[in-house]
Structure 1
Amino acid sequence: MLRAPLTLAVAGWSLIAAAADPSAADWLAKMSEAARSSNYQGVIVYQTQDRLETMRVVHRNKNGDEVERVQTLTGAPREILKQGNQVICLLPKDRKVTLELPTPKGLFPGLTPERVAQISQYYSFNDVGSARIAGRQCRGITISPRDQFRYGYEIWADAATAVPVKVNLIGRGNNVMEQLMFTEIEFPSSIPDSALQTELDPKQYQRVTRMVQEPQAAGVDVPDLQFANLPPGYRVTMRDVRPTSDGQGTVEHLLLSDGLSAISVFSARRHVPARMFQGASQIGALNAYGRVVGSVHVTVVGEAPSETVRLIGDNMQPGNGLPQLQASPQPQPPSR
């Protein structure tokens, strides 16, 4: 789900504001900020069509230093500590498990008022009233896509602090594809260092450390592939090139975003594996599409509708130019 700042001219925003709920848009920006700047801790249930996780989350922002600890309460023991751009994971040595444990701040990007204005071209925002969640009075909004190329959201935040306590990812037919919800939550004025220290013995678990890159404008280097067309609103927001594990080639990672949702494009150059993923695949809200373009194997993966992922994959072609950040002509949504 992923996430890079984009701007929109004030004139463009004024044309759209009448079609959106300004109070809902303001509340969305406030929720995004609160998820990062507030102290909170509690128990979260994360559910998809084939997965159920219960986690304890501790989030602290002290003098601008943001730290988050996530601890699984079901399944294989895992802990993740996020501090700045560094992510430290403690995982079982004898089992391959996912590193992804979603939290409120990780479900959607930092949405400044300017970013909310930008995404209003592709999403509408509406207030859906109040409800009681985790013993707290909450206010909810919906983020509804204006076309068929993206999913929607329903987000409920604590009325007093604006911290999100429930997030639904909404697919076709108003189908809830993923849900993240606090079952209990509190907002301490301070959180001690001890609450952010792991309870697992590092000697008994594998430690994986990775750095999270900040999205930046692509185009410093020339990629081997370019886009002939992109779904409306999607732009290349990050590019990273790394050698393959066997050192025989390189893998390029392009991150595409419409300002809210994110899609990754991986291309293996000069070393296409003998067994490669081709065609379409879906696990819950995650869609993937693979194909070979010349001597390059391309894989597109993201929490987006299958036609969005396929459109991106089918419109990649060899070339020495930069990715086209504004494609033309744009695909049109079906008539309603």
Structure 2
Amino acid sequence: MYPENPAMAGAGRIHMPRSLKIIACALVAFVVMPIAKAADVEEWLMRINEAAASRSFVGNFVYVHDNQIEAMHVVRRIRNGMLQERLYALNGDAREVVRDEDRVWCFIPDRNLGVHDYRQSSESGFPRIMSEDLETLSRNYRFEMGGTARIAGRMAQQIRVMPADRFRYGYDLWADSETGLLLRSDLVNDSGQSVEQYMFVNIEIDGEISDHELESVTSRENLVWYGMDLPNMSAEVESPVWRVQSLPAGYRLSKHIRRMNPMKLEEEEHMVFTDGLSSVSIFIKAPGEKQSGMAGLSRMGAVHAYRETVADHWITVMGEVPARTVEHLAKAIVHQP
């Protein structure tokens, strides 16, 4: 999950994904298997969906990007259909994220900072794929069964997801053979290189998780909090004046809301475009105080962002997609009042 708000990028960039992100790869022996039938791929994708929606777990995973390794501890509980989650950075700057179905709290004690926001999606992890979506996805991706490997002490099945063009990354997924839970996920560029990787190094699935394990270990005191008193003001935009004139094949508008930025208490529009796997967000801010950051392209791991002004508004396009995708959308957005 890329950050849902660019103001949260530094705080919330310890997301679980849709991508989960290799320690001692030399120890992992791959067993090559024949390419399986489409029905086998569909069955595994459905298992991944079901596991993401129903499995609780506690574990540690590594996130590898830009020649860096970040180690994270995660506690995730699903009880009576309700999701609660806590992530805690084990190396580097102290960071912690606590979230439930509706809200997110980000703790950044090294900066004396805390951010509270409302979740714009109820999902965590790999995007939900329904069986009726597979035909649509097959126009932009090719799916193959891969081999098996041992990850975090458990056997895992590989599923390769290969893009049809250069406007989206590929995925190299490894799902737990017993439960279907994702144990490793790589985003792969058009050269076949991993640009971002999540991988569990240990995990306990479906054990009992206490309320205490979901409480933040970082004290709320002495932090300057943003957004704590901010009501959930997101609303669908009924008469949009912003449009993207041309989209890469397969992408469609899935959400267009108006919301408050918890860091600056400024109203912004948020558009989300997806092809069913890859997603791109566009944030639109009205003229106001001088905006921080520079125009043009930037990158962190697999996340690319492109900023520029259109009709005196700041436009930020970002997502776990190639640079050409965010630039394409930034150049295609128009203001039509």
Q: TM-score, normalised by structure 1?
A: 0.77
- State the partner residue of 1:167: 185
Per the TM alignment, residue 295 of structure 1 is displaced from its structure 2 partner at its CA by 2.4
Matched, 1:124 2:142: yes
- State the partner residue of 1:326: none
Q: 1:88–1:207: 8 Å Cα contact kept in structure 2?
A: no
Q: Write the distance in 1 (CA, Å) between the matches of 2:237 and 2:2.
A: 20
Per the TM alignment, residue 29 of structure 1 is displaced from its structure 2 partner at its CA by 2.5
Counterpart selection for 1:181 from 199, 212, 219: 199
- State the partner residue of 2:171: 153
Look up the equivalent residue of 1:291 and give its one-letter code. Answer: E
Aligned to 1:185, the other structure's residue is in SS state strand
Per the TM alignment, residue 271 of structure 1 is displaced from its structure 2 partner at its CA by 3.7
Structure 1 residues 9-158: aligned runs within 5 Å? 21-92=38-109, 94=111, 106-158=124-176
Q: Write the distance in 2 (CA, Å) between the matches of 1:52 and 1:39.
A: 25
| Coordinate RMSD, CA, aligned | 3.2
- State the partner residue of 1:258: 275
Per the TM alignment, residue 188 of structure 1 is displaced from its structure 2 partner at its CA by 3.6
Look up the equivalent residue of 2:300 and give its one-letter code. Answer: I
Q: Write the distance in 1 (CA, Å) between the matches of 2:184 and 2:71.
A: 14
What residue ranges of structure 2 are gaps of 5+ in the alignment? 4-35, 117-122
Q: 1:300–1:309: 8 Å Cα contact kept in structure 2?
A: yes
Q: 1:50–1:284: 8 Å Cα contact kept in structure 2?
A: no
Aligned to 2:191, the other structure's residue is in SS state helix
Look up the equivalent residue of 2:257 and give its one-letter code. Answer: D
Q: Write the distance in 2 (CA, Å) between the matches of 1:286 and 1:136.
A: 29
- State the partner residue of 1:296: 313
Matched, 1:192 2:206: no
Greater CA deviation, 285-294 or 65-74? 285-294
Look up the equivalent residue of 1:255 and give its one-letter code. Answer: V
Q: Write the distance in 1 (CA, Å) between the matches of 2:287 and 2:37.
A: 47
- State the partner residue of 1:228: 245
| Cα separation, partners in 2 of 1:199 and 1:275, compared to 1, 3 Å | closer
Look up the equivalent residue of 1:146 and give its one-letter code. Answer: A
Per the TM alignment, residue 268 of structure 1 is displaced from its structure 2 partner at its CA by 2.4
Per the TM alignment, residue 304 of structure 1 is displaced from its structure 2 partner at its CA by 1.0
Per the TM alignment, residue 189 of structure 1 is displaced from its structure 2 partner at its CA by 3.8
Q: 1:133–1:183: 8 Å Cα contact kept in structure 2?
A: yes
Aligned to 1:300, the other structure's residue is in SS state strand
| Cα separation, partners in 2 of 1:66 and 1:209, compared to 1, 3 Å | farther
| Cα separation, partners in 2 of 1:205 and 1:189, compared to 1, 3 Å | same
Aligned to 2:111, the other structure's residue is in SS state coil
| Cα separation, partners in 2 of 1:235 and 1:2, compared to 1, 3 Å | farther
Q: Write the distance in 1 (CA, Å) between the matches of 2:264 and 2:52.
A: 40
Look up the equivalent residue of 2:150 and give its one-letter code. Answer: R
1:298-323 deviations in Å (ceiling 9; x for gaps): 22111111111111111112213xxx
- State the partner residue of 2:21: none
| Cα separation, partners in 2 of 1:65 and 1:293, compared to 1, 3 Å | closer
Per the TM alignment, residue 21 of structure 1 is displaced from its structure 2 partner at its CA by 2.5
Percent of aligned pairs sharing the same letter: 31
Q: TM-score, normalised by structure 2?
A: 0.77
Aligned to 1:165, the other structure's residue is in SS state strand
Q: Write the distance in 1 (CA, Å) between the matches of 2:227 and 2:170.
A: 32
What residue ranges of structure 1 are gaps of 5+ in the alignment? 4-18, 100-104, 321-336
Q: 1:2–1:107: 8 Å Cα contact kept in structure 2?
A: no
1:49-71 deviations in Å (ceiling 9; x for gaps): 14321111111112212211112
Aligned to 1:254, the other structure's residue is in SS state strand
Q: 1:287–1:302: 8 Å Cα contact kept in structure 2?
A: yes
| Cα separation, partners in 2 of 1:144 and 1:96, compared to 1, 3 Å | farther
Look up the equivalent residue of 1:178 and give its one-letter code. Answer: E
Per the TM alignment, residue 164 of structure 1 is displaced from its structure 2 partner at its CA by 0.5
Q: 1:142–1:153: 8 Å Cα contact kept in structure 2?
A: yes
Look up the equivalent residue of 1:160 and give its one-letter code. Answer: E
Q: Write the distance in 1 (CA, Å) between the matches of 2:167 and 2:115.
A: 27
Q: Write the distance in 2 (CA, Å) between the matches of 1:188 and 1:241.
A: 38
Q: Write the distance in 1 (CA, Å) between the matches of 2:222 and 2:318.
A: 33
Aligned to 1:30, the other structure's residue is in SS state helix
| Cα separation, partners in 2 of 1:199 and 1:2, compared to 1, 3 Å | closer
Look up the equivalent residue of 1:311 and give its one-letter code. Answer: H
- State the partner residue of 2:6: none
Greater CA deviation, 160-169 or 256-265? 256-265
